Structure formats: C-alpha cells, structure tokens
Structure 1
Amino acid sequence: MKALLILFLFTSIAWSQNNTPLQKITNNTALSSKNALATYKAYNFANLWIQDRPTLGILGKNHQRLKIKILSAKQDKKDLNNYIITGKYALKEKIYSFVGTIYITEIREVKNLHFGVDNEYESQKIKSQGVLIAKYEFKENSPQKSNGILEGKLYSKWYLSAKNEIKYDDIELFSDSYFNNAFIGTWKPQPTASGKIANWGDYRVPNANDDFDIGAGEFFPSKKYIHQGWENYSPTKKENWWK
C-alpha cells in the first residue's frame, strides 16, 4: 500500500520515540516480569536473524539509508547464549563485510498467547511466545586498522512450536504496526570515534524520527529524507545487493 499522507498523524504517533522498544515491538502486549533466559538456554534462536524479510535501516540524525544483511548465525557450543554472526552492510553504495556476535541477555514470555486473525494459529499448538533481548557487536571484516563497528541492543519476537522449535513470530504480520528484529544502537567508523545512530529492523525502522515513516500499511519514507539514499526505494522492489 502506498504511503497515505492523510494517515501521517496516526503513523507519527504509532512510531513516536516516547514508547520503549520493548513496548513497540510487542505492541504493548503484557510480558512476564521474569527473565526466562535459563529456561530457553538449550534452544537455538539463530534462524530469527537469517530470514528473507525486508530489512530497513538508518544512519545518523539525517536518517541516511543503511542497508544491512545477516548472512549466517551460529550458536556457540561453549556458550549457548552467544551467536557468531557474519554479514554485510552498505553505506552510499559501498559494501562492507562484518563479523561479530549477538549475545542474549534476557528472555521475556508473553502472558497471553496470540494466534492471529480469527485465531488461525491456534491449531498449531504453540507452546509459548516472547521477546528476546540481546546485545550485539559487528566489526568490519577488513585488513585495515580502523574498521567500523555496529553495536547496541536487539529485540526479537519468537514463538516455540509444538515440535519444540524456535520460530520467527510473524503471526501479527497483518498489523500496520508490525515489525521484528529491532537493532537499536550506533555505528562508529573506528573504535575511538564518536558514534552515530544506527537502527534497523524487519518491515519498519525502530526509534526513527517521528516524521520519517509516513507509510500506513507498510514503511515509506517522507520526502524530507528521500535524498538520504531513499531515492530508489520501493516496498515492492526485491534487493540482493549483498550477493
């Protein structure tokens, strides 16, 4: 659906930075106060981050377009909360490879399971649902001495299937406010430099300026930011810039 200016006010409120990332990604769904990290330690969450989903990102206060793709995620057998990551990101059409880690620090289960429109997922016997909170650090994989660093916090929605498998939670994908895998942090051109805002996520950009995303049913940048690398953006355009 094309961006509709008549819905700009609604969208701005929905994507305001006044709510916390955890409130946004769960759409204010009630979560347990208990950290269930120990309960889910033996499960593998790696598939959550290598999905074929539209990923949208911004760099800096002017919201320059940041393209990013996680190519592999492997659970560390020595520390099951740690995941070894490889991927690529692009700034102004220059592509950088990176390596790094995602380290899960907290898992919060939802208090009441959700099953989508007309409870279409109820028959799948979902065991639990929730959000994981992690810290991440990705470093440019380059022989240069001064390599860029992406670091911050990650919020990912998941559910546990009847087969005891962790699944990417897209049950509420029909909702205009849906997004997942919210990476919220900074990018530094080198370890000693000051950082710039660097946020990205699936389907929407987390913690962006209120006037940035004017899309109703899906993301679309406002004209104010088009010249920041969004000139050729289209919600229907499939990209494979990382290949």
Structure 2
Amino acid sequence: MKLLVALLALSAWGAARWLPPAATVAKAAAATRKERKAKVPPQPSGLAMLREHDLALLLQARHPPCKTCAFRPLNGFYGPSRYRIELAMLQLTRDARQPTLYHVQGKSRYKKVIRPFSGTITLAQVVKQPEYSAREIAASSDWDQLENLPNMYTAIGQYELREASTQRGAGVYCGTVALDFRVEENGQVVQKSRHGKTLTQGGELKYAGTWTSNATSRNVPVTWVGNFLSYRGPQGFSDFNIGDRGISINPKYAHLGWNNFWENDEWWVDAPPASARL
C-alpha cells in the first residue's frame, strides 16, 4: 500500500513538472494575440486614410480584387410607399487631384423608366465600426464565431447625382453615403461589416437622401443599399426576406416592384445602334 501511494505521488509530481502553470499558458496566449496584432500594419486616421485608399470599387458595390465580377446595380426604396428603385454606378473614378472626390456616371430605373445621370461623391470622414460585446462573442456559435477583427471602418460623405436635364421628369439625387470596409493585412480594402450597428444599418453600403424634381422642386425620400435583405433602416422592410435557407422576397411587396428581382435583363446596357444590329 505504501508503495502504491509513493508511485501515485511520483506520477503527480512528474505531471506537475512537465505541465506549464496556468499563468504561463495565459502569458503564451497573450503573446500569440500580440503577435497577430503586430502583423496588422497601423492605419492612418481620418482624411489621411481616405487619401491613401481608393474606395471607388466599393462605392460602386463591386468587391475587389474581382474587377471582372458580374455587375449588379444597387436596389433601393423610393418615396413613402418604398417602391423599388435601382441605381447602376457604371463608371466611378477617383479624382487625380482630390483623392476624396469621386466622379460618377450611371443610370437609374424606376417603374421601367431609365434615366442617365452624372455627379460626384465626396468622402469627408472615417469612423471605427462598433465592436462586438463580450456577451455577443460568448453567445456566438462555433460555426459562426464572432471576432473583433482590426481595421474595420465606415467612410462617410455626400453625393449629388444629376439626371439628364433633357429628359422629361428629370431631377437631382443628393444626400449622404456610408460605406463599411476593412483594411486587410496586405493593405487591400474590402467591403466588410461587423454587424447592423454601423451607419449603414445593415446595408453595408448606403446612399440616403432625396430626389428633387427639376420642374416642380418636389422632394421625395430615396435610399439605396448594397444589401437590401439585411438593411434595417427606416425605409426598409423588417419582413422582407421570408426564406429560411435562401432568398425569398415576401410576396406582399410584389406590387412595389420587387416581384421581378430575379430577372436578369441587364437594363443598364446600351442597345447597339440600328446599323450594328443590321
């Protein structure tokens, strides 16, 4: 019996000798986290960040580095009824002298009426995206673990888009723009939203403002977003997507222009001249 006790004591002593203490484990974990953060280059703040990074593709709702990915217009909500309106940012280029200024050319479509427009986007501010709370991280699942990645921001600015004045019923869109993005370790900027608590309100990219008629000066509220299914702003619909595992738009909004969302008619592409068709 004494021999057995001695052997057990010797075994426990050996385990304690080879297993690191809790403080050592915690110190190693902290060092690992510190090493991960060290790999992320420090980012300039405010206007300096806007001058350093070209956000043209993200403002166009494209996802770098895939410049050749299929183009899709922004979807939005027009007027008190929140009828569907689309916005195709066909060309969006950064000004060579003013890096916070972007020049835009595109088309809008509302109730099958297509109007070209041109204008500008001016970015003025950058804020950090709100972080997940400790409770939110603890409650997240293993397959969808939440993490407060570094270098996640929201760019804020203003836009003005003028429809061709020669067209009947033309007007001017103006308002504010908010864009969620992240600067990755390699310096690439990508669209990234931490959650719906940013200024895009779940839309990832949000243009919000008014359309003003050239003829009558009537103002109509309008909002476009990059992700209209997750958007939770005042002009969105809380019961818009009723699908469990896929996108299924609530049929009660079909009369507001959302019944043809899946049609791939590429309305923004110019028709070839008659001579080319012949």
The question of a shared fold, defined as TM-score above 0.5 by the shorter chain, is answered with: yes
Q: Distance in 2 between the 1:199 and 1:212 partners?
A: 18
Give unpaired runs (5+ residues) of structure 2: 1-44, 63-70, 138-142, 270-278
Q: TM-score, normalised by structure 2?
A: 0.60
The equivalent of 2:33 in structure 1 is: none
Task: Name the residue aligned to 2:235.
Answer: 208
1:225: Cα distance to partner? 3.5
Residues 1-243 of structure 1 correspond to what in structure 2 (within 5 A)? Answer: 36-50=46-60, 51=62, 52=71, 55-110=74-129, 112=131, 117-118=144-145, 128-144=151-167, 147-169=170-192, 178-190=202-214, 193-204=217-228, 205=231, 206-208=233-235, 210=237, 213-215=240-242, 222-234=250-262, 237-238=263-264, 240-243=266-269
Q: Following TM superposition, by how much is the alpha carbon of 1:163 offset from its aligned partner in structure 2, in angstroms? A: 2.4
Q: Indicate if the aligned counterparts of 2:123 and 2:158 stay in contact, CA closer than 8 A.
A: yes
Q: In terms of Rg, which structure is larger? A: 2
Which letter maps to 1:75? R
Identity level (%): 21
CA distance in 1, matches of 2:125, 2:211: 23
**CA apart distance, 1:202:** 1.3
Between 198-207 and 50-59, the greater mean CA deviation after superposition: 50-59
SS of structure 1 residue aligned to 2:255: helix
SS at match of 1:207: coil
Q: Which has the higher helix share?
A: 2
**Deviation of 1:137 (Å):** 0.5
Give the counterpart letter for 1:161 in structure 2: E
Superposition RMSD in Å: 3.5
Report the number of matched residues: 200
Letter in 2 for 1:45: L
Cα distance change, pair 170–219 in 1 and its aligned pair in 2 (3 A)? farther
Note if contact 1:179-1:203 (Cα within 8 Å) is conserved in structure 2: yes
TM-score relative to the length of structure 1 = 0.68
Give the secondary structure class of the aligned counterpart of 2:253: helix
The Cα of 1:168 is off from its aligned counterpart by: 1.8
CA distance in 2 between counterparts of 1:118 and 1:212 reads 26
How far off is 1:106 after superposition? 1.1
Q: What letter matches 1:231 in structure 2?
A: N
C-alpha displacement of 1:239: 5.0
